[in-house]
Amino acid sequence: MADLAPLRDALRAVGADPSLVLSPEAAHVVAYGHHVVSVQSVPGVIVLAERERDAIRAEVTVVAGARLAQPVHLCFGLFEPRGIQNVRLALVMERDARATFWSHCLFPLAEQARHAMDATIRLDERAELVYNEAHYHGLSGGIEVLPVARVSVGRRARYRADFSLVSGRVGRLEIDYTVEVAEDGVAELTSRVHGRGEDRIAIREAVHLNGVRARGLVKSRVAVEDEASAEVVGATFGNAAESRGHVDCLEIVRGNAKASAVPEVRVTHPLAKVTHEAAIGSVDQKQLETLMARGLSPEDAADRIILGMLR
């Protein structure tokens, strides 16, 4: 196995336990830049990864009926100030498979770096996937991160994705996720991002409820301060009878930061229903005063509220 020390250090720095991530019982793929460092399959999970000319190509299949006790870990990153990492990920959850994935995207030293992820995720009938994506981009803000995902959620399948980038700097982030949900399927997408300095955040998450009784939730929690900016588009399309969707966007703005929230909801079937709510502005005064009435300074109260929102 190649040198995993940089990954271990970075995981510890973000509060993760390297021994769990790299456990012999857990499937994983580890790649630094375009160098595949470690690949591990376990019963029920087939992991393949190889270097292509300008990218890492990873394929992960959780076989039909597999119920994974340990999460699958996808560890991508750069451990030097400059570099490019392109990842092409194909993830398949076969029928009745159930798994949790942790995608650790770590760029602790990035000063002039770029990470682009192009993911295709397929959930077959009754499969269940929890996909947690935790990013750490270091403190310089000199990174571009461009994750794109196309997800198909099969009949009676359940997909829950949670994107988190709440410590350090963001740099430039452009999330573009599209999810198609079949009959009785469920998709829940949550993104939590905290921008500072000159960070630029653009999030577009769209859920297409194509099957009867499909359900979707698009939830975003974004805080921006200093000179940072955020543009969030949460979209839900009700295309089938009894499909139900909701878009829930909350953004807190401090300092000279700027933010926009655009909930996009549309139905193309008379029995579909989609709703949205969006709140954008400074920290809620009532929440602030509730904590100040317990002795917190205005600054500490605001920090506590933002921390909670991003939890």
Partner 1 sequence: MVNMLVDIRGLRVILADRPVLDGLSLEIAAGELHALLGANGSGKTTLACTVMGCAGYAPAAGEIVFDGERIEQLALHERARRGITLAWQEPARIEGLRIGEFIRTGAPAADAEAALAAVGLDPGAYLQRMLDRTLSGGERKRIELAGALALAPRFAILDEPAAGIDLLSIDEIVSVIEAIRAKGAAVLLITHEEAIAGRAQSASQLCGGRIVCRGAPREVIANYKARRCARCDGATCGYG
Q: Does 253 bind partner 1 (CB under 8 A)?
A: no
Measured from the CB atom, the residue of 224 and 291 that comes closer to partner 1 is 291
Q: Which strand (E) or helix (H) includes residue 261? A: strand 258-267
Smaller CB separation from partner 1, 29 or 306: 306
Task: Based on the shown chain and the rule CB under 8 A, indicate whether residue 162 belongs to the binding site for partner 1.
Answer: no
Q: Which of residues 181-240 bind partner 1 (CB under 8 A)?
A: 221
Q: Is 8 or 304 the residue whose CB approaches partner 1 more closely?
A: 304
- The residue (of 155 and 221) whose beta carbon lies closer to partner 1 is 221
Q: Is 291 in the site for partner 1 (CB under 8 A)?
A: yes
Residue 106 neighbours by CB under 8 Å, 6+ apart: 7, 10, 11, 14, 75, 76, 77, 79, 135, 136
Rule CB under 8 A: say whether 301 interacts with partner 1: yes
User: For residues 30 and 230, which CB has a smaller minimum distance to partner 1 in the complex?
Assistant: 230
Say which DSSP state 20 is in.
H
Q: How far is the CB of 298 from partner 1 (least distance, A)?
A: 7
Q: Residue 75 and residue 114: Cα distance in Å, rounded?
A: 16
Q: Which of residues 104-123 bind partner 1 (CB under 8 A)?
A: none
Binding mask 258-287 for partner 1 (x = CB under 8 A): --------------------------xxxx
User: What is the token pair recorded at 129?
Assistant: 């996937």
Total residues binding partner 1 (CB under 8 A) = 24
Find the binder of partner 1 among 20, 48, 212, 292 (CB under 8 A): 292
Contact 194, 223 (CB under 8 A): yes
Contact flag: residue 53 with partner 1 (CB under 8 A): no
Q: Verify binding: residue 305, partner 1, rule CB under 8 A.
A: yes
Backbone angles phi, psi at 246, to 5 degrees: -145, 140
Is there a contact between 95 and 127 (Cβ–Cβ < 8 Å)?
yes
- Using the minimum distance from each CB to partner 1, give the nearer residue, 153 or 309: 309
Question: Based on CB atoms, which residue is closest to partner 1, 221 or 276?
Answer: 221
Calculated CA dihedral for residues 246, 277, 121, 106, nearest 10 degrees: -150
Q: How many alpha carbons lie under 13 Å from residue 49 in its C-beta half-sphere?
A: 28
Determine the straight-line distance between the first and last CA of the chain, rounded to whole angstroms: 35
**Distance separating alpha carbons of residues 129 and 62, to the nearest angstrom:** 10
* DSSP of 115-158: EEEEEEEEE-TT-EEEEEEEEE--SS--EEEEEEEEEEE-TT-E
**Packing angle of the helix pair 285-292, 298-309 (nearest 10 deg):** 120
User: Closest separation between CB of residue 41 and partner 1, Å?
Assistant: 36
Q: Does 310 bind partner 1 (CB under 8 A)?
A: yes
Given 230, 249, 250, 274, the residue binding partner 1 (CB under 8 A): 250
Residue 308 contacts partner 1 per CB under 8 A:
yes
- Residue at token pair 């159930």: 98
Nearer to partner 1, 194 or 200 (CB): 194
Query: With binding defined as CB under 8 A, does residue 311 bind partner 1?
Result: yes
Asked if 1 touches partner 1 (CB under 8 A), the answer is no
Interface residue list for partner 1 (CB under 8 A): 221, 250, 284-287, 289-298, 301, 304-305, 307-311
